[in-house]
A = this chain, B = another copy of it.
């Protein structure tokens, strides 16, 4: 038996990634019930997605990372923040990983990159995320990375005919 390692690249998304990002996000939604959208997809055109990515690159408090194996996106991690002065310090995190690549520490790697970026941003002072209460794998990852539960949202998402509870978690960022 011989052990090999494969190289995965994590970098900021560029406008040319638009088509592949959409393909990835629509694929991942059909694999898992843990996201806030389902098989209906995001209903976003490639042109719109290019424009979004361009805006994210030019923003001081928004980020989109892609994890790439060969030429294929296998994970994304995003920070979304508003432009309003009273709210621009709050970054909302979203992480999605292709099911084939669960369990290899990819979520941890993406989260570490997000946190480093947030600490260097000089704008973000609070990271927050919502996660289905049944998604214990993800909750453990977030706790390991320093996130704490702030609230439990009753009926925070609807899936497969039932209303599910959602945890709100946050981590303060102090540069």
Contact = CB atoms under 8 A, between A and B. Distances in A.
B40 A85 contact: yes
A84 B42 CA distance: 9
A168 B154 contact: no
A156 B90 contact: yes
Interface residues of A, number: 29
B153 A152 contact: no
Contact of A154 (B88, B154, B172): B172
Stoichiometry, as copies per complex, reads 2
A168 B170 contact: no
Question: Which of A128, A151, A170 has most chain B Cβ within 10 Å?
Answer: A151
A37 interface: yes
Contacts of A35: 86
Contacts of A86: 35-38, 157-159
A73 to B, nearest CB: 22
A151 B151 contact: yes
A85 B38 CA distance: 8
B155 A36 contact: no
A102 interface: no
A50 interface: no
B155 A168 contact: no
B85 A158 contact: yes
Contact of A168 (B40, B125, B151): B151
Contacts of A172: 154-155
11 contacts: A36-B87, A40-B84, A85-B158, A86-B158, A88-B158, A89-B155, A89-B163, A126-B155, A150-B153, A150-B154, A155-B172
Closest 10 CB pairs of A and B: A151-B151, A126-B155, A150-B151, A37-B84, A86-B157, A86-B158, A151-B168, A36-B86, A89-B158, A36-B87
